[in-house]
Structure 1
């Protein structure tokens, strides 16, 4: 039986997976080249091999549909042999966070896929992502590098909200954080810590003034968001995930193209919007709502500056567009 054509949503998900995947894949290849720890090196080798298989599968989908395979990122964006930029510990944390992004992307793509072979592709990709998640968690725990979320102590019986003060988080009048609110608080903090650390590292090695300026500003934005979220946890005497800045060396030799550096940071800030939105949706305290709303607006500004800079340098690859019917009619 002849396959049905891929829908616009299916093409869009494949395109995004290819661009984002090749960006992360290029960074993974650099990290693999510098990692000294045998266990961490082994897990990166698996991540590289896994994506190479997924990349081929995505390319085949495009070719079968008559679409050009995206350019994305490749070895022209990678300069192996430069001075070490990251510690082994940072590399493992990076792989863990990017695996989380990958799992979310695969699951979202599966939910908009209709054709069976594409669903099978995302099933396989999700399974590989889940396995990588378990491996990164296990290794972080084994190395003593993983910080667990705060512990809560059980009540004797379930209880119900009894007054409107439950939503008041300002001026110390409100209740302590709910376990459901900790989910997004903790995850958003860890992702902001990763974004800040990469901004610092990339600002040291970026080749152009405009890119360095953007990275310095994005570092300030991420730092402000970390402080805002940490303040909420600390008010309840809850621990804050540790920073990763000291896992970046003082190297100024860039192993990456400025195109890759800038794209990667834009991806992180755009992806963060999903998690901030989830945090906003689960927030039941007014201070949390206000913090997430402010963070989302800040990220929109960062993304706008990122877009302008990517376009200025002709680095932003264009996704497939809907046919312009007016132009087709004019050119008849």
Structure 2
């Protein structure tokens, strides 16, 4: 039986490092939202999240210290200007939090499967529960405001069917009947549109307040990429007589005063790129109509190229904090160190 301290593994260290970056970023963003939000119910949701996320950051910091590892820098008070004018309206601030809780839920589910120590697995369980609870609160808030479009109601099946002909997967018929989308395909298309509507507004705000021109241009490019994804996904829905989701809510103000550091906004964009790329891949995998993956694959390439260029841009401007490195055995054997 193993006794004493169980060393942390490389995968556990890496996931804790990733989550520390994300949570310190979220603390700063929500801190700014709380400085100017006027909706009492929204403030309560944001305040509860900020307190819980701040406590998690302290727990993570303690783990790094106890393990003898350097505490990451992450994001600090230097990455947010609390005196800047409001950048997004009250509704969008809650939309943003909901969007980020989708990302968090996916990360925590993955990271618990990459952990071995019970205390770290328990930590991710609490992270997941907190993210899911916040997602529920933000969803119900937006529904109560009438600003969150739901996916369409469908006639419930009264029997089970199996695909008997190969043309079930066909989407290329020029004449004749092309089968309508199934509910799985609709669900992922709705997800893509909803996420990119939020992403488009976020990129618009970031482009207005970024300090460096090439970074402003990058966010503008991200806005245009989101618009392309929204357009292509909406066309697929409309082809099956399904209205794409839309909402007039969630406004970007006309502020051009630096709100967040370029580092924070670039990292936030990188995180959403990863989430978008993964969601696109999953949606393509579950699609049974052959034409849909062919339409989505070029978009996936555009997202990949956008993310890759963002990484280069972060390195160019010294905005990319390096994750913990594995030992370089070649250098060590030569008596050298970094």
TM-score interval w.r.t. the shorter chain? Answer: over 0.9
Matches of residues 1-332 of structure 1 in structure 2 within 5 Å? 1-171=3-173, 173-242=177-246, 247-331=251-335
Q: Deviations over 1:88-114 (max 9, x none)?
A: 111111111111111111111111111
Q: Is the 8 A contact 1:203 1:212 kept in 2?
A: yes
Q: Deviations over 1:45-76 (max 9, x none)?
A: 01101111111111111112211111111110
SS at match of 2:258: coil
Q: Is the 8 A contact 1:205 1:251 kept in 2?
A: yes
Relative to structure 1, is the Cα distance of residues 198 and 171 closer, same or farther in structure 2, using a 3 angstrom cutoff? farther
Q: Deviations over 1:19-54 (max 9, x none)?
A: 122222211111111110000011000110111111
Q: Is the 8 A contact 2:95 2:250 kept in 1?
A: no
Distance 2:27 2:172 in 1: 43
Normalised by the length of structure 1, the TM-score is: 0.96
Distance 1:134 1:326 in 2: 50
Relative to structure 1, is the Cα distance of residues 245 and 130 closer, same or farther in structure 2, using a 3 angstrom cutoff? closer
Q: How many residues align?
A: 332
Q: Is the 8 A contact 1:90 1:244 kept in 2?
A: no
SS at match of 1:158: coil
SS at match of 1:18: helix
Runs of 4+ in 1 over 2 A off after TM superposition: 170-174, 243-246
SS at match of 1:285: coil
Gaps of at least 5 residues in structure 2 are none
Distance 1:255 1:248 in 2: 13
